[in-house]
Amino acid sequence: MVNMNNSVTTAGQSNYVAKTFSGLEQVLAGELRAFGAADVEILRRGVLFRGDQRLLYRANILCRTALSILKPLGDFRFDSKDSFYDQMRTIKWTELFPKDKTISVIATAHDSEIFNNTMFVAQLSKDAIVDQFNEAFGSRPSVDTALAQVRIVVNIQGDNCKVSLDSSGEALFKRGYRKMGGMAPINEALAAGLIMLSGWDKTSPFLDPMCGSGTFSIEAAMMAAEIAPGLDRKVFGFSHWNDFANGMLEEEKEAARSQQKPLKAKIIASDLVGKMLDITRTNIMGAGLMGQIKVQKNDFFSYHPREENGWVLLNPPYGQRMKEQDIRALYIHIGDTLKNRFTGYRAGIISAELDAMKHLGLRPKNRFQVFNGPLKATFNIYELFEGGRDDYVRSKGRNVESQKPKAKSQQPKANSQKPTANSQKPTAKSQQPKVKNNRTI
Ligand SMILES: C[S@@+](CC[C@H](N)C(=O)[O-])C[C@H]1O[C@@H](n2cnc3c(N)ncnc32)[C@H](O)[C@@H]1O
């Protein structure tokens, strides 16, 4: 018997699950609370929340760190393939979406004695759905594994099955501005989450000196100018549901548009490789941010920031093609550059090179475990105050968290580690992380 308690709660209110990257759950929960979500609860790689249809639309338009937002339909226990099919069929699919929509089923299965093949789960789920439509209308939705209008998510854990509808459709990190990718572009939702974790105040200078395709800069600019990431999206998953309210969606978009404000912060995207800057410019144009982000060709290791303080975010090159000694030299060099030239700044570095991070020679103020694609990574925040954080705290005699960093020193710090003789310039070679897909039918 399908338990619907998880789906509809009190009148007009439903439970939803926003999915995100591991490590960004708290940030996403904060976003959802700010939009008016109730009963927010942290899950693994997700956040459970409650709200009405309007809130669902708003969250899809505004959330920067969500990958998708699911509407749970119910869950059930099963002890055979037949009982799985029967219970799938009791969900009132014909009341959820019209028969002329295309559908896909995205299935996962863990620790199941019944299913060892997620493709079969997807197939059987699809059969239950289309059989119900055939019985009711004599016709049925067709399957489109690539670009389905209605996406059904089936998660099996042991003998329990949870069924949801994906309200977002195309993943929410696809903002639409990335016309070109570059070599190893960071995911847009991850970039936004890291900027939030870095504590950037949206007014201080923001430097992205290994910008690649410009994701950090573009996300920072959108955040500071309150440009909603889903504003340009014409169609969401929920647009294909029977209860779709186009007027409500337009009202929520209009409300989001009215929040936009002029960008005050200076944002600079730079890279060693000229081709990357072309890609960054194209993407900036795609985001409608022409002229708002300064793009320049610079080697990070000879970079001299003009402002005395600000934030600098780095996603250094990585990949199997880089040799261990090159990686070590790269991190020593990055650490020295930060210590010598970026005094007064806060630095955030995301890296899957967990050992190499030690060679920065800097003590992180904060450390967050995240995933960059399939790679286990760390995002460390450093406060680059002259003489070190402890001296800074002592000199101020109060909590530094609430203060601006002091003026940049002109001289390298005494405790800076020098790059080793065999230090090499990092290459721009990096590899695109492989992304695992769930089975879809
Ligand atoms: C992993 S990619 C950054 C990807 C970027 N976050 C994005 O979203 O596209 C690393 C970038 O560092 C750049 N890079 C490598 N060495 C550099 C250096 N010495 N100075 C500036 N950029 C450098 C590479 O050209 C490459 O674009």
* pLDDT band per the 50, 70, 90 thresholds, residue 413: very low
Quote the pLDDT of residue 183: 76
Task: Average the pLDDT over 256-263 and give the result.
Answer: 97
CA 249 to ligand 1 centroid distance, Å: 38
CA pair distance 215, 194, nearest whole angstrom? 11
Atom of ligand 1 nearest to the CA of 215: 8
Top-confidence residue, 359 or 181: 359
CA pair distance 146, 413, nearest whole angstrom? 54
Measured by CA distance, the residue closest to atom 17 of ligand 1 is: 272
Which is it for the CA torsion 71, 76, 20, 38, positive or negative? positive
- Rounding to the nearest 10 degrees, give the CA dihedral for residues 387, 391, 393, 395: -100
Pocket of ligand 1 (CB under 6 A): 182-186, 209-210, 212-213, 215-216, 271-273, 276, 299-301, 315, 317, 425-426, 428, 430
Q: What is the pLDDT of residues 12-32, one digit of tens each?
A: 899 999 999 999 999 999 999
CA 209 to ligand 1 centroid distance, Å: 7
Could you tell which of 271, 301, 337, 353 is best to mutate to test the pocket of ligand 1, judged by most ligand atoms within 8 Å of the CB? Answer: 271
Q: What is the pLDDT of residues 20-66, one digit of tens each?
A: 999 999 999 999 999 999 999 999 999 999 999 999 999 999 999 99
CB 32 within 8 A of CB 49: yes
CA 126 to ligand 1 centroid distance, Å: 44
* pLDDT band per the 50, 70, 90 thresholds, residue 407: very low
- Quote the pTM value: 0.88
CA 210 to ligand 1 centroid distance, Å: 4
Quote the pLDDT of residue 285: 97
Quote the pLDDT of residue 7: 59
Beta bridge partners of residue 439, listed in sequence order:
107
Domains present along the chain, CATH in parentheses: 14-166 (3.30.2130.30), 188-231+263-402 (3.40.50.150)
Length of the chain measured in residues: 441
Measured by CA distance, the residue closest to atom 8 of ligand 1 is: 185
- Rounding to the nearest 10 degrees, give the CA dihedral for residues 81, 86, 88, 92: 170
Is the pLDDT at 291 greater than 60, yes or no? yes
